[in-house]
Amino acid sequence: MRRVICAAVSAALLGGCSLKQGMETANKEVAQFHRQLDEGRYSEIYKNSAPDMRGAADETKLTRLLTAVHTKLGAVQSTAQQGINVNTSTQGSFISASYATKFAKGSGQEQFVYRIGLNGKPQLAGYHINSDELIYN
């Protein structure tokens, strides 16, 4: 019985470390994304993204989206993580994180998905934003 409890506690602690690491990675990557967005470095975002992202939208489409986000909403003022999911499967390891972000001209709910490569480096695999100001302005 004692071994079972120790194994369960160990598994919980390891899972917690993974989640903590995922949160730190997501916060770091999202901050970098926002800097690149504010500086208009859309091509850099595309080129450093995962094949999932590049397969879903070509560079022109992603650039148009990011240009619209930055033009209509303005510079990022603040962001707060709302939720996170760290998942490892046969498809790979992923971090999905949602953020409530305030921009100079509005706000939005952003969803980021990062694929963790074999080298441990996170790459943007998905980006979604919901914002009334983005649609109506």
Domain that holds residue 40: 2-136
Q: For the whole model, what pTM was predicted? A: 0.84
> Which stretches of the chain are DSSP H helices?
2-38, 42-47, 51-56, 59-73, 132-136
Q: List beta partners, residue 59.
A: none
What is the number of structural domains in the chain?
A: 1
Q: Cα separation of 78 and 66, whole Å?
A: 17
CATH code of the domain containing 88 = 3.10.450.590
Q: Cα separation of 133 and 108, whole Å?
A: 8
Strand 92-103 versus strand 122-130 pairing type = unpaired
Measured in degrees and rounded to the nearest 5, phi and psi for residue 98 equal -115, 145
Give, for all 137 residues of the chain, the pLDDT tens digit: 444 333 333 333 333 347 888 889 999 999 999 999 999 999 999 999 999 999 999 999 999 999 999 999 999 999 999 999 999 888 889 999 999 999 999 999 999 999 998 788 999 999 999 999 998 87
